[in-house]
Homo-oligomer: A and B are copies of this chain.
Amino acid sequence: MIWTQPSPQRRRSPLERDDIVRAAVAVADEGGAQALTMTAVAKRLGPYTPMALYRYVLSKDGLVDLMLDSVTAEIPVPDAPGDDWRADLHALATESWAMVKRHLWYAQLMPTRPPLGPHLMRRTEFLLQVLVGQGLPVGEAMTYAALLDRHILGSAQQEAEELAMRRRYGLHSPQQLGEAITAARALAAEGGRHPLLTEWMTAPSGAGMDEQFALSLAFLVEGIAARLPGRDAPAGG
């Protein structure tokens, strides 16, 4: 009788897939995608060698897949669309943006892997539900969903890029950063070409990234609204 046997009591396994993924996420959070090496992850877990991880994650790509899905799970996805489809889109996009800001490597690694993680699929399904619920065919819904995601990932990429640039050139002190900006501006201003660009670089737009994100998002949702079936003229405004 199995009931009398002690539980399978799988061998004491010090490493677990979850531990590895957590450590990898921490490494990438701190150092960006280019700091994510098997060696770095192994070291963070303790006195391990890089090869120890391969028992659990098959390959680095496998690890990346797990990482992406793991942080995608941080985005709260309702069971079903609510009454207000705009609010649904807005909430999902905003939550996604918040997650992506916590894990800036997401924008760098996401486009390198097939989007097949279970949590990502759940999220996509929800987006489609919201849009199809407004009368759109699936294909069109997917187009708009992709548009929203491009905006989120693109914004994240922009932030990640700035961070990476600061890291890459060792622009840690405000003084060094200032010098680099001055140099870039000088390049732009050379010969009096690019007056508008120079103006912007001298005083980059007052709106912060969050504000810009919210603005552009509202903007996209408006655009989608104008295209929903049942509207007369999409160009009307």
Residues of chain A at the chain B interface (Cβ within 8 Å): 1, 3-4, 108, 111-112, 114, 116, 121-122, 124-125, 128-129, 132, 137-143, 146-147, 150-151, 153-155, 157-158, 160-161, 164-165, 183-184, 187-188, 193-197, 199-200, 204-207, 212, 215-216, 219-220, 222-223, 225-227, 231-232, 234-235, 237
Q: Is the CB of A132 within 8 A of B196?
A: yes
Q: Is the CB of A194 within 8 A of B146?
A: no
Please tell me which one of the listed residues B141, B164, B205 contacts residue A139 in the complex, with CB atoms under 8 A apart.
Answer: B205
A204 to B222, CA, bound (A): 25
Please tell me which one of the listed residues B112, B125, B196, B205 contacts residue A140 in the complex, with CB atoms under 8 A apart.
Answer: B205
Please tell me which one of the listed residues B4, B151, B165 contacts residue A147 in the complex, with CB atoms under 8 A apart.
Answer: B151
Contacts of A116 in B (CB 8 A): 184, 187-188
Please tell me which one of the listed residues B3, B157, B237 contacts residue A111 in the complex, with CB atoms under 8 A apart.
Answer: B157
- Sort A-B residue pairs by CB-CB distance and give the 4 closest, nearest first: A139-B205, A150-B154, A128-B196, A226-B237
Known: A125-B193, A222-B235. A114 touches B165 (CB 8 A): yes
Q: Is the CB of B187 within 8 A of A124?
A: no
Please tell me which one of the listed residues B124, B160, B161, B206 contacts residue A197 in the complex, with CB atoms under 8 A apart.
Answer: B124
Please tell me which one of the listed residues B200, B205, B206, B223 contacts residue A220 in the complex, with CB atoms under 8 A apart.
Answer: B223
A133 to B38, CA, bound (A): 51
Q: Is the CB of B143 within 8 A of A205?
A: yes
**Least distance between A93 CB and chain B CB atoms (Å):** 14
Please tell me which one of the listed residues B1, B111, B183, B215 contacts residue A143 in the complex, with CB atoms under 8 A apart.
Answer: B215
Nearest-neighbor residue (CB-CB) of A165 within chain B:
B114
Please tell me which one of the listed residues B111, B139, B194, B204 contacts residue A121 in the complex, with CB atoms under 8 A apart.
Answer: B194
Contacts A/B (CB < 8 Å), 8 sampled: A121-B193, A121-B197, A124-B194, A125-B197, A139-B206, A150-B151, A219-B227, A232-B237
A188 to B151, CA, bound (A): 24
Contacts of A184 in B (CB 8 A): 114, 116
**Least distance between A199 CB and chain B CB atoms (Å):** 5
Please tell me which one of the listed residues B4, B138, B216 contacts residue A205 in the complex, with CB atoms under 8 A apart.
Answer: B138
A194 to B206, CA, bound (A): 42
